[in-house]
Amino acid sequence: MEPDGRSAPDAVATGLDRTDPLRAYRDEFIGADGAIVYFDGNSLGRPPRASATRLEQFVHEQWGGRLIRGWDESWMQLPFEIGDAIGRAAIGAAAGQTVVGDSTTVLLYKLLRAAFDAAQAEDHARVELVVDRDNFPTDRYLVEGIAAERGGRVRWIEVDTAAGVTAEAVRSAVGPETAIVLLSHVAYRSGYLADAASLTRIAQDAGALVVWDLCHSAGSVPIEADAWGFDLAVGCTYKYLNGGPGSPAFAYVATRHQATLTQPIQGWMGADDVFAMGPAYRPAEGMRRFLSGTPPIVGMLALQDTLALIERAGIASIRAKSIALTEFAIDLTDEWLTPLGVTVASPRDPRLRGGHVTLSHLQMRAVTARLWAEDVIPDYRDPGGLRIGLAPLTTSFAETEHGMRAVRDALRDLAG
């Protein structure tokens, strides 16, 4: 046994860790050297060490020392500065198109409704909102809600979860009645990685506006929002961007759309002149119009530390390690878990896979409960899906091996 109570990793995992160019990054995160196997960095990333210092300093110096002056001095600009940093480090967006705002759900609502209204204003025949059946619940619920609220119609894309949303599926779902299309870049359940550039083009060629959900891709998969011609996008910051529980989401709106979109939650922080407190709402120029109320400053602080690390490591190296980790987990699955009846519910081709792997077995709910009690922390997603999230900056190969061995032992015990 190792000092931390884990059994020693075999030579393969040890070798992969030794030659991992990103291995030093684990030291930058609290707990990454501990005994817990963390397979959920795609749901809630670990805290960067620098964030502990940053938060403490903020309380003492900024909040405590500057008090209300902090808004004028720096906080009013922070949602835009951090937005630009996300654009630079993670999503390939030039400055002035990304802002940190509300939760993913609320930002998605605002952008989806703004886009639907803009499409309708241009052409009344465009009444359809296209979304896939396998999309995240919040995404599907929002689309249904907006359709009901605005007299639109939902057009569902049926999905083979192992194959994801294909070009063919999008092509046959869009047409002269499509207003907007909402897609996830990496599917939260299967980990399927969509070809965002070509799906965007297909929907735009049919005259639709596309909204990308980047929750499971930002920080782990290369994204080129500008080069791929994105219209709009929203993404989480508490997953691979390690912003902390409930840290606010970001919204991307391509410059060409900013002046024509008006979002539905008209608040003073999105108004033309915030402190004029004028009689009527006039939306601000640029990204400020997508804000509504007072920005959640404390919640967006930590995010800056992971963005700095991502910029330093480079998203290409992060993606390379992500692929190596998921390949390793799938190899161990084939060796240890397939004989126990487990199937891989994620694409086997790494080009079609994001940063997590989902394994199917009827016992996975019970397996997850047992693993959590043993400090091995994956996620469970119905039906029977064990989700192994591998965060390239914080997960090691030895940790992955240890966790996979624990899955095997749990399945064996539950069967026996």
Ligand X SMILES: *Cc1c(COP(=O)(O)O)cnc(C)c1O
The correct pick among 97, 98, 104, 304 for binding ligand X (CB under 6 A) is 104
The residue to which tokens 């799906």 are assigned: 199
Closest separation in Å from C-beta 42 to ligand X: 8
Calculate the CA 407 to chain-centre distance: 25
| β pairing state of 250-253 and 98-100 | antiparallel
Interaction of residue 109 with ligand X, rule CB under 6 A = no
Q: Which of residues 243-272 bind ligand X (CB under 6 A)?
A: 249
The torsion defined by the Cα of 150, 152, 158 and 161, in degrees rounded to 10, comes to: -20
Angstrom CA distances, 4 to 143, 325, 393, stand at 47, 22, 21
28 contributes a contact to ligand X by CB under 6 A: no
- Pick 103 or 326: Cβ nearer ligand X: 103
Stretch that binds ligand X, among 3-11, 133-141, 341-349, 357-365 (CB under 6 A): 133-141
For the CB of residue 139, give the shortest distance to ligand X in the complex, in Å. Answer: 5
Q: Which residue in 14, 138, 255, 317 binds ligand X (CB under 6 A)?
A: 138
Q: Give yes or no for a contact between 28 and 393, defined as CB atoms under 8 angstroms apart.
A: yes
Which 322-351 residues touch ligand X, going by CB under 6 A? none
Q: How far apart are CA 157 and CA 316, in angstroms?
A: 31
CA dist 189 to 271, 353, 355, 401, Å?
Answer: 38, 11, 11, 22
Nearest to 316 by CA among 85, 89, 16, 95: 89
Catalytic residues: 136, 213, 238-239, 387
- DSSP of 236-267: -SSSTT---TTPPPEEEE-HHHHTT---S---
Q: Which is nearer to ligand X, 218 or 318 (CB)?
A: 218
- Residue in 39, 58, 109, 188 binding ligand X, rule: CB under 6 A: 188
Give me the least distance between CB of 74 and ligand X, in Å please.
25
| Token pair in block for residue 144 | 């249904």
Distance in Å, CB of 333 to ligand X, minimum: 23
Tell me: does residue 139 bind ligand X (CB under 6 A): yes
Q: Number of residues in contact with ligand X, rule: CB under 6 A?
A: 13
Q: How far is the CB of 211 from ligand X (least distance, A)?
A: 11
Longest dimension (CA), the chain: 72
Would you state the structure tokens that stand for residue 288, as one six-digit string? 């400020």
Q: 78 with 300: CB under 8 angstroms? A: yes
Number of C-beta neighbours around residue 411 at 10 A: 24
Question: Minimal distance in Å, beta carbon 278 to ligand X?
Answer: 31
Helix (H, G, I), strand (E, B) or coil at 66: helix
- Under 8 Å CB-to-CB from 40, ≥6 apart: which residues? 377, 378, 379, 387, 389
Choosing from 103, 292, 322, 400, the residue that interacts with ligand X (CB under 6 A) is 103
Residue 213 touches ligand X, criterion: CB under 6 A: yes
Residue closer to ligand X (CB basis): 215 or 407: 215
The residue among 139 and 305 lying less far from ligand X, judged by its C-beta, is 139
Name the segment binding ligand X (CB under 6 A); options: 47-55, 99-107, 301-309, 345-353. 99-107
Closer CB to ligand X, residue 58 or residue 136?
A: 136
Q: Which is nearer to ligand X, 220 or 326 (CB)?
A: 220
Q: Near ligand X by CB under 6 A, which window of 9-17, 70-78, 210-218, 308-316?
A: 210-218
Q: What is the DSSP string of 104-156?
A: HHHHHHHHHHHHHHHHHHH-TT--EEEEETTS-HHHHHHHHHHHHHHT-EEEE
Quick check: 136 binds ligand X (CB under 6 A)?
A: yes
Whichever of 34 and 222 has its CB closer to ligand X, that residue is 222
Candidates 2-10, 101-109, 191-199, 332-340: pick the segment binding ligand X (CB under 6 A): 101-109
Binds ligand X (CB under 6 A): choice among 129, 208, 236, 251: 236
Nearest Cα to Cα of residue 171 among 144, 208, 125: 208
Q: CB of 101: closest distance to ligand X in angstroms?
A: 11
CB of 385 to ligand X, least distance (A): 14
Site of interaction with ligand X (CB under 6 A): 103-105, 136, 138-139, 184, 188, 213, 215-216, 236, 249
